[in-house]
Amino acid sequence: MLKPGGRFLSLDFNRPSNLAVRTVYLTYLTVVGSTLGFVLHGDPDTYRYIPESIKRYPGAVAVCGLLRQRGFSHCDYLPLLGGLMAIHSAVKT
Protein backbone atom coordinates (compact mmCIF):
# COMPACT_ATOMS: atom_id res chain seq x y z
CA MET A 1 0.00 0.00 0.00
CA LEU A 2 1.38 3.36 -1.00
CA LYS A 3 0.35 6.87 -0.07
CA PRO A 4 -0.42 9.26 -2.94
CA GLY A 5 2.89 10.31 -4.46
CA GLY A 6 4.60 7.09 -3.31
CA ARG A 7 6.90 5.42 -5.82
CA PHE A 8 6.45 1.80 -6.87
CA LEU A 9 9.55 -0.07 -8.12
CA SER A 10 9.63 -3.68 -9.26
CA LEU A 11 12.33 -5.86 -10.81
CA ASP A 12 10.93 -8.94 -12.47
CA PHE A 13 11.38 -11.39 -15.29
CA ASN A 14 9.87 -10.17 -18.56
CA ARG A 15 8.20 -11.97 -21.45
CA PRO A 16 10.19 -11.16 -24.60
CA SER A 17 7.92 -10.18 -27.48
CA ASN A 18 10.13 -11.88 -30.10
CA LEU A 19 8.94 -15.50 -30.39
CA ALA A 20 12.39 -16.93 -31.15
CA VAL A 21 14.00 -15.13 -28.20
CA ARG A 22 11.10 -16.12 -25.94
CA THR A 23 11.39 -19.78 -26.96
CA VAL A 24 15.13 -19.92 -26.26
CA TYR A 25 14.67 -18.02 -22.98
CA LEU A 26 11.90 -20.31 -21.69
CA THR A 27 13.82 -23.43 -22.75
CA TYR A 28 16.93 -22.15 -20.97
CA LEU A 29 14.99 -21.37 -17.78
CA THR A 30 13.34 -24.80 -17.87
CA VAL A 31 16.61 -26.69 -18.33
CA VAL A 32 18.64 -24.63 -15.86
CA GLY A 33 15.78 -24.49 -13.34
CA SER A 34 15.27 -28.26 -13.52
CA THR A 35 18.99 -28.88 -13.09
CA LEU A 36 19.30 -26.50 -10.15
CA GLY A 37 16.14 -27.88 -8.57
CA PHE A 38 17.52 -31.40 -8.77
CA VAL A 39 21.04 -30.51 -7.58
CA LEU A 40 19.95 -28.20 -4.75
CA HIS A 41 16.67 -29.82 -3.63
CA GLY A 42 16.48 -33.28 -5.19
CA ASP A 43 13.39 -32.14 -7.13
CA PRO A 44 13.66 -30.97 -10.76
CA ASP A 45 10.24 -29.28 -10.54
CA THR A 46 11.24 -26.87 -7.76
CA TYR A 47 11.78 -23.91 -10.12
CA ARG A 48 9.46 -24.95 -12.95
CA TYR A 49 6.99 -22.25 -11.90
CA ILE A 50 9.31 -19.54 -13.28
CA PRO A 51 9.05 -20.34 -17.03
CA GLU A 52 5.40 -21.34 -16.56
CA SER A 53 4.54 -17.98 -14.99
CA ILE A 54 6.45 -16.12 -17.72
CA LYS A 55 4.26 -17.84 -20.34
CA ARG A 56 1.22 -16.17 -18.73
CA TYR A 57 2.94 -12.86 -17.94
CA PRO A 58 1.42 -10.04 -20.02
CA GLY A 59 4.74 -8.27 -20.72
CA ALA A 60 6.25 -5.01 -19.51
CA VAL A 61 4.04 -2.70 -21.59
CA ALA A 62 0.85 -4.40 -20.38
CA VAL A 63 2.03 -4.21 -16.75
CA CYS A 64 2.17 -0.41 -17.09
CA GLY A 65 -1.42 -0.51 -18.34
CA LEU A 66 -2.47 -2.62 -15.35
CA LEU A 67 -0.73 -0.23 -12.96
CA ARG A 68 -2.52 2.75 -14.53
CA GLN A 69 -5.86 0.93 -14.13
CA ARG A 70 -5.08 0.57 -10.43
CA GLY A 71 -4.33 4.21 -9.71
CA PHE A 72 -0.72 4.70 -10.72
CA SER A 73 0.69 7.31 -13.07
CA HIS A 74 4.01 8.00 -14.77
CA CYS A 75 4.56 4.29 -15.33
CA ASP A 76 7.69 3.39 -17.21
CA TYR A 77 9.95 0.39 -17.45
CA LEU A 78 13.62 -0.19 -18.07
CA PRO A 79 14.37 -3.37 -20.02
CA LEU A 80 17.39 -5.31 -18.78
CA LEU A 81 19.39 -8.13 -20.37
CA GLY A 82 17.93 -7.43 -23.78
CA GLY A 83 14.37 -7.37 -22.43
CA LEU A 84 14.57 -10.64 -20.48
CA MET A 85 13.93 -8.68 -17.29
CA ALA A 86 12.44 -5.26 -16.56
CA ILE A 87 12.36 -2.67 -13.80
CA HIS A 88 8.97 -0.95 -13.52
CA SER A 89 8.55 2.46 -11.93
CA ALA A 90 5.23 4.16 -11.24
CA VAL A 91 3.76 6.80 -8.90
CA LYS A 92 0.63 6.28 -6.81
CA THR A 93 -1.94 8.97 -7.61
Instruction: Find the mean pLDDT for residues 24-35.
Output: 95
Instruction: Please tell me what DSSP assigns to residue 90.
Output: E
Q: Could you read off the pLDDT of 43-87 as tens digits, one per residue?
A: 999 999 999 999 999 999 999 999 999 999 999 999 999 899 999
Confidence at residue 55, expressed as pLDDT on a 0 to 100 scale: 92
Give the H or E element holding residue 33: helix 19-41
How far lies 43's CA from each of 23, 37, 40, 46, 47, in Å?
Answer: 23, 5, 8, 6, 9
Q: For the chain, what is the total number of helices (H) and then of strands (E)?
A: 3, 3
What pTM, to 2 d.p., does this model score?
0.81
Q: How far apart are CA 44 and CA 28, in angstroms?
A: 14
Q: How far apart are CA 80 and CA 20, in angstroms?
A: 18
Confidence at residue 40, expressed as pLDDT on a 0 to 100 scale: 96
- Crossing angle (nearest 10°) for helices 49-56 and 19-41: 150
